[in-house]
Chain A
Amino acid sequence: TQLLEQSPQFLSIQEGENLTVYCNSSSVFSSLQWYRQEPGEGPVLLVTVVTGGEVKKLKRLTFQFGDARKDSSLHITAAQPGDTGLYLCADQETSGSRLTFGEGTQLTVNP
């Protein structure tokens, strides 16, 4: 059974700071998706990474996929209060598109 570990579990920072959160797997990812979930809502997809070493940018968010495809990181530059939320990584299997989620990193950006 695949285990996804996210760290840190909680992170509270001031507006304008940079941060990085991590997602590590006990086995190779089929493909990795990052979601953000805001209070009272369902998760929303941020990005999908597939190729080892891949880097994707989404405005102030930078996603990196490890060369061995067993780890990933999400870096946020100059965090804003609107970045507050639960960041979830998930492995998507190729058949049935089922997702296995990590426990998430709860990010709070204080004004």
Chain B
Amino acid sequence: NAGVTQTPKFRVLKTGQSMTLLCAQDMNHEYMYWYRQDPGMGLRLIHYSVGEGTTAKGEVPDGYNVSRLKKQNFLLGLESAAPSQTSVYFCASSYSGVLQPQHFGDGTRLSIL
């Protein structure tokens, strides 16, 4: 049981390039989330989804887009990468309802030059 899988694990981009981060979960979770983690700032929610075909903005959505075409996948896109988007990106998923734990992937380390 793989849980939450993120690809790629590392990536270096040049300013202005675009890319898509993929998150896949095999736990049949309804909810999925994208966070970024920066030194001294904890994890901040970028976008999230409460079900297939739905997306919503989190705390820091600017510069990112997401899609949830299939229940098991949640894609995070950067249309025109900026150095301020250098970060570690984490995907998480959970069952619906209160008091459910979120299950995290191991992160994607993204550097934008």
Contact = CB atoms under 8 A, between A and B. Distances in A.
Interface of A: 4, 9, 31, 33, 40-45, 48, 50, 88, 92, 94, 96-104
Nearest to B58: A98
Q: Chain B binding site: helix, strand, loop or mixed by DSSP?
A: loop
A48 B97 CA distance: 14
B107 A97 contact: no
B92 A42 contact: yes
A103 B39 CA distance: 9
Interface residues of B, number: 29
A43 B98 contact: no
Contact of B56 (A33, A42, A44, A96): A96
A103 B40 contact: yes
B43 A88 contact: yes
A9 B97 CA distance: 31
Contact of B44 (A33, A50, A88, A101): A101
10 contacts: A41-B106, A41-B107, A42-B4, A42-B105, A42-B107, A48-B101, A92-B99, A97-B96, A97-B102, A101-B42
Interface SS of chain A: loop
B110 interface: no
Given A42-B106, A96-B56, A104-B42, A50 B99 contact: yes
Contacts of B43: 43, 88, 99, 101
Contacts of A98: 33, 45, 48, 58
A92 B102 CA distance: 10
B98 A31 contact: yes
B64 to A, nearest CB: 16
A77 to B, nearest CB: 24
A33 B97 CA distance: 15
